[in-house]
Structure 1
Amino acid sequence: MALGINLSFCVKRWVTPALWARLVREELGLGLVQLSFDLVDPMWPDDVLDKVAADTRKACADHGITLHSGFAGLAAYTFNLLLHPEPAVRDASERWLTRAYAFCEKAGIRAAGGPVGAIAARPDAVEADAIPEADYADLVARLTRLADRAKAHGLTELYIEPTPLRREWPWTPAQARRLMADLAGTAVPWRYCFDWGHAILTPPYTAEEARAEPWLEAVAGDIGAVHIQQSDGRLDRHWDFTEQGIVDPAAVAATLARFGLADRPVFLEVFYPFEETDAVVLDRVRRSVAALTSAFGRD
């Protein structure tokens, strides 16, 4: 398995390609990267995006880095995206994603993805077991259109990241299987970026459900990439592997291999308080990569 890293840990710190590329290769010893759109806003002016794309290509070539995909980060995830209650906001999210695909084309990235959206909370705060069917149908239509746009920008794969929230889609293995069936045959294939830490939370899952295996049994063939994080199983922590938690990298690697996913890239995805010092963040990421290398190898 190839170990890579999502650039989430670089946000507000190592924010230019020259900075993060050198750090990833020379400090972490990695050559596989998932670019976070917390570092590049697709709504920046075209001339700014063109320069960042050119700088990204050069930095990756200079340091021998492969850019696997562009991925929505925390900034985009803050919004409700393709499931916002206002149709005009959903339209704006489609434009945002289309511009993200255009940036990927210019930067030499062939895949993109992230969580797709969240419906609004109800006034009584009751969370249903599924989003309304009308919202689901609209989501499928938008994802189908986005696949057409991705193909026009030269992308070859798109990713949906399931999240453990009842207001988002999909949050269960059955929903994930249904969505893949309804997206079959799109211009660019939709696949899942499976986050191990999302699958093990209680709630929303019961103690029996809070395992990766139900997801892998349902959609292993549709998983194109994996996120790994340390977690206590209570909240979506995105801790690094200097923290104590319930995720065992060797067990993760063995389980992925058992389900035929040994060739999928595995990306460390961790977040830090902005107030933490840069030195502490770099040290903890370096130690986390070292802890994961024995289980997953390096690109």
Structure 2
Amino acid sequence: MTASSPLGINLSFCVKRWVTPQLWAPVVRDRLGLDLVQFSFDLVDPMWPAAILSRHAKDVRQAADDHGIAIHSAFIGLAHYTFNQLLHPDPDVRSYAEHWLERAYGFAAEAGIPGVGGPLGAIASRTDGTEADTLDDRDYADLIERMLRLGEKARAAGLDALYVEPTPMRREWPWTIGQARRMMQDVSGSATRWQLCVDWGHGTILPLYGPAADTMEPWFSSLSDVIGAIHIQQTDFQFDRHWDFTEPGRVDPAEAKAQLARTGLAQSPVFLEVFYPFERDSASILDALTASALSLRQAFA
């Protein structure tokens, strides 16, 4: 019998709510019945003073140990994602984003988190609104150079893995299966291994990819050897919704598990990644998360 994918949750749902490990750890373990998380840097800013970062890293490590929670990785979060990061038009801003990640690596290592990842950046829009299908060769070469340098920095920090998350936008990289494969080949010599974290709502954007993109199976089957983690969400295949599973949508948890089994990813960790309006009350969010976690646990059992 094939083992089921480890099921966890990205702490994106905690933003501006359960912001310390003393708050999110019991929610994850006792309310949702999960023991695997992906930390979010929406909860900790790597640019905080070193003493504050160190104290929070120790708190994260202790709370995870106390509640029997494993932290698979730490992702950049929504706040940092809004910046253009490693693809900003200004090279000095790119270098600052690289430094931001180096600081994130240090925090993760101290907190006992073995990997860090997320989307890498976005080029600026053109004044006429047109979007190219690929990055400029110079931008791409600069990005690969920075990824290799980050691999060295991650190794120095003591990390085991780095992740890049493909996004469904022409201004980011990679956004196609072919681009993802090329990137993984181009960083294959990294001092710290780069892998992909693919999202169920990213490879299924029909307005971008066309009617054949109503399944993640092509992404999974084509890239299974370089996929290290998976995000699952409920969505309508029109936009990147990040709904929970109390909402109607196109993602069926049982079929999701079957797709992973068919494509050799049955043992890859899967993280529910959901976002909520800041105005929504916390009690209703807990109820929705509890129902969603139950639905996924039953499907992936």
TM-score tier (shorter): over 0.9
User: CA shift at 1:295, angstroms?
Assistant: 1.8
Secondary structure of the corresponding residue to residue 260 of structure 1:
coil
Equivalent residue for 2:186, pick from 182, 189, 192:
182
Equivalent residue for 1:2, pick from 3, 6, 13:
6
TM-score, length-scaled by structure 1 = 0.98
Q: What residue identity is the alignment partner of 1:17? A: P
Aligned to 1:112: 116
Q: Give the distance between the partners of 1:256 and 1:285, measured in 2 at CA.
A: 23
User: CA shift at 1:213, angstroms?
Assistant: 2.1
Establish whether residue 293 from structure 1 lines up as the match of residue 297 from structure 2. yes
Aligned to 1:94: 98
The 5 A counterparts of 1:238-253 are 238-253=242-257
Aligned to 2:164: 160
The 5 A counterparts of 1:244-283 are 244-283=248-287
Equivalent pair of 2:221/2:264 in contact (CA under 8 Å)? no
Structure 2, unmatched stretches of 5+, are none
Equivalent residue for 2:218, pick from 214, 221, 225:
214
Aligned to 2:233: 229
TM-score, length-scaled by structure 2 = 0.97
User: CA shift at 1:210, angstroms?
Assistant: 4.3
Q: Give the distance between the partners of 1:213 and 1:203, measured in 2 at CA.
A: 18
User: CA shift at 1:209, angstroms?
Assistant: 3.4
Aligned to 1:57: 61
Q: Give the distance between the partners of 2:23 and 2:89, measured in 1 at CA.
A: 39
User: CA shift at 1:216, angstroms?
Assistant: 1.9
Q: Give the distance between the partners of 2:199 and 2:233, measured in 1 at CA.
A: 8
Secondary structure of the corresponding residue to residue 37 of structure 2:
strand
Equivalent residue for 1:199, pick from 190, 196, 203:
203
Establish whether residue 169 from structure 1 lines up as the match of residue 173 from structure 2. yes
Q: Give the distance between the partners of 2:207 and 2:96, measured in 1 at CA.
A: 32
Q: Give the distance between the partners of 1:50 and 1:77, measured in 2 at CA.
A: 23
For 1:150-199, what per-residue CA distance to the aligned partner results, in whole angstroms no more than 9, with x for missing partners? 00111001100000000000000000011011011210100000101111
User: CA shift at 1:203, angstroms?
Assistant: 1.7
Q: Give the distance between the partners of 1:44 and 1:28, measured in 2 at CA.
A: 30
Residues 1:79 and 1:268: Cα distance change in structure 2 (over 3 Å): same
Q: Give the distance between the partners of 2:61 and 2:260, measured in 1 at CA.
A: 31
Q: Give the distance between the partners of 1:139 and 1:162, measured in 2 at CA.
A: 14
Q: What residue identity is the alignment partner of 2:268? A: R
Secondary structure of the corresponding residue to residue 9 of structure 1:
helix
Equivalent residue for 2:47, pick from 43, 48, 62:
43
State the identity as a percent.
59
Q: Give the distance between the partners of 2:291 and 2:103, measured in 1 at CA.
A: 35
Aligned to 2:87: 83
Equivalent residue for 2:22, pick from 7, 18, 23:
18
Which range moves more in the overlay, 185-194 or 212-221? 212-221
RMSD between aligned alpha carbons?
A: 0.8
Q: Give the distance between the partners of 2:139 and 2:254, measured in 1 at CA.
A: 39
Q: Give the distance between the partners of 1:16 and 1:125, measured in 2 at CA.
A: 41
Secondary structure of the corresponding residue to residue 204 of structure 1:
helix
Secondary structure of the corresponding residue to residue 225 of structure 1:
strand
Q: What residue identity is the alignment partner of 1:52? A: H
Q: Give the distance between the partners of 2:294 and 2:66, measured in 1 at CA.
A: 23
Equivalent pair of 1:4/1:267 in contact (CA under 8 Å)? yes
User: CA shift at 1:46, angstroms?
Assistant: 0.4
State the aligned residue count: 297
Structure 1, unmatched stretches of 5+, are none
